[in-house]
Amino acid sequence: MGEPSKDIMVYAEFSAGVLHPVSLELLGKARELAQKTSSQVLSVIAGHGLSRAIDELVSRGADVVYAVDDPALDNFDAMLFQQNIVPIVRDVNPGVFLLGATPIGRSLGPRIAAELRTGMTADCTELDITPDGKLVQVRPAFAGNILATIQTGTRPQVATVRYRVMRPAERDPNRKGRVVMRDAVTLEPSANVLSRIRSKRMDISSAEVIVSAGRGLSKPEDLKMIGDLAEALGGIMGSSRPLVDDGWTLKEQQVGFSGNVVKPRLYIACGISGSPQHLFGMRDSEHVIAINKDPSAPIFKVADVGVAADLYEIVPLLVEELRRRRMKV
């Protein structure tokens, strides 16, 4: 590999026939960064049946799309995708390579970085770039207690970026871009897919309604009433970090700086005081309802509706009323 360019390459995640929205967020950020360095925005995508996704990438800001379209890539296999993407990155030699911090991106990113013999910064929440193409990467560290600002000395500069922390690129159907199709590298898959079962667990970062629990709960068993309220609203249950640390809830349910960033239509905080780490994860919610018996809790400063009352009295009443109304429909 020669001297890297200042171009910024985005891995467009395509799975089960769908382009992951984080790819559009990365394109939006890549365009912003590219304007500062007078460089191009590139994208690489692998899968099967990519024509519509390729058009979408161009309309969202990609100047060049490198695509590998083959039936062998219909199911994600980290080793197989790595062997198809790394040669493209080597040939193109971008200065920056971005992936979403999704389960697929977190699996693929380190493998690509290792084969390219370069560093990688994981779970970035903000990116900037210097005029000479040095990527400034910001991520939480020490369990979210501090923000680390990182610059990678090797090239390409590889980073995974959290979903829903950046603005998606606007769609322009009149944009033109170049498409470069590459032949697939086919290997024996490292695993065979015998069947597919769609998980019933909703991705909290995509949920439209979230009911979150905090330290205001007395014991783990009381999470059931929070779950009941979430179910009655057709939503999903989240939690603050202390409940995850105590083993009451799963890491996947955590909302906050060191957890998930969410932007639901409705966010209900039950017994959550409102630490800066938690507020970071839900500050862009469309409507916020806070239930806390402490009227001075910081969560009330960001709430559209605040209920200064005991959640053990309010939540069961809400569940009962919602169920009663559902029965009348």
Q: Establish if 110 belongs to a structural domain.
A: yes
- Cβ partners under 8 Å of residue 166, min gap 6: 25, 26, 28, 29, 127
Using an 8 Å Cβ cutoff, are 178 and 204 in contact?
no
H or E element: which one contains 129?
Answer: strand 126-129
Q: For residue 33, give the CATH number of its domain.
A: 3.40.50.620
In this structure, are 47 and 130 located in the same domain? yes
In this structure, are 319 and 212 located in the same domain? yes
Tens digit of pLDDT per residue, the chain (329 long)? 678 899 999 999 999 999 999 999 999 999 999 999 999 999 999 999 999 999 999 999 999 999 999 999 999 999 999 999 999 999 999 999 999 999 999 999 999 999 999 999 999 999 999 999 999 999 988 766 788 999 999 999 999 999 999 999 999 999 999 999 999 998 766 666 666 555 555 689 889 999 999 999 999 999 999 999 999 999 999 999 999 999 999 999 999 988 899 999 999 999 999 999 999 999 999 999 999 999 999 999 999 999 999 999 999 999 999 999 988 76
Which residues form the domain of 284? Answer: 204-328
In this structure, are 20 and 160 located in the same domain? yes
Amino acid identity of residue 93, one-letter, is: N
For tokens 């989240």, the residue is 238
Q: What pTM was estimated for this model as a whole?
A: 0.84
Which 3 state secondary structure label does DSSP give 109?
A: helix
Of 181, 212, 231, the position where a domain reaches its end is 181
Q: Establish if 30 belongs to a structural domain.
A: yes
270-288 residue pLDDT tens: 999 999 999 999 999 999 9
For tokens 């197989």, the residue is 80
Longest CA pairwise span in the chain (Å): 70
Give the whole-angstrom CA distance, residue 20 versus residue 30: 16
Of 146, 181, 216, the position where a domain reaches its end is 181
Give the C-alpha distances (Å, rounded to integers) separating 39 from 8, 60, 107, 270: 7, 16, 28, 47
Q: Establish if 2 belongs to a structural domain.
A: no
In this structure, are 107 and 227 located in the same domain? no
Q: Establish if 56 belongs to a structural domain.
A: yes
In this structure, are 90 and 154 located in the same domain? yes
Q: Establish if 189 belongs to a structural domain.
A: no
Q: Establish if 224 belongs to a structural domain.
A: yes
Q: For residue 222, give the CATH number of its domain.
A: 3.40.50.1220
Q: Establish if 191 belongs to a structural domain.
A: no
In this structure, are 244 and 139 located in the same domain? no
Domain count for the chain? 2
In this structure, are 177 and 323 located in the same domain? no
Nearest alpha-carbon partner for 211 in 313, 263, 289: 289
Rounded to the nearest 5°, which phi and psi values hold at 150?
Answer: -125, 140
Please give the angle made by the CA atoms of 87, 101 and 39, to the nearest 5 degrees: 55
In this structure, are 229 and 171 located in the same domain? no
| Token pair recorded at residue 268 | 């209900």
Torsion on CA atoms 237, 240, 241, 244, rounded to nearest 10: -30
Q: Establish if 41 belongs to a structural domain.
A: yes
Q: Residue 197 has what pLDDT?
A: 58
In this structure, are 218 and 177 located in the same domain? no
Q: Residue 329 has what pLDDT?
A: 63
Using an 8 Å Cβ cutoff, are 136 and 149 in contact?
yes
CB count in 10 Å sphere of residue 152:
18
| Token pair recorded at residue 311 | 């959640």
CB count in 10 Å sphere of residue 62:
29
In this structure, are 14 and 52 located in the same domain? yes
Whether omega for the bond prior to residue 156 falls within 30 degrees of 0, making it cis, is: yes
Q: Helices (H) and strands (E) in the chain — how many of each?
A: 8, 17
Strands 8-12 and 14-15: unpaired
Of 181, 216, 247, the position where a domain reaches its end is 181
In this structure, are 115 and 226 located in the same domain? no
Rounded to the nearest 5°, which phi and psi values hold at 33?
Answer: -70, -40
DSSP annotation string for 37-103:
HT--EEEEEEESS-HHHHHHHHHTT-SEEEEEE-GGGSS--HHHHHHHHHHHHHHH--SEEEEESSH
Return the DSSP state at 186. P
Q: Residue 150 has what pLDDT?
A: 96
In this structure, are 236 and 119 located in the same domain? no
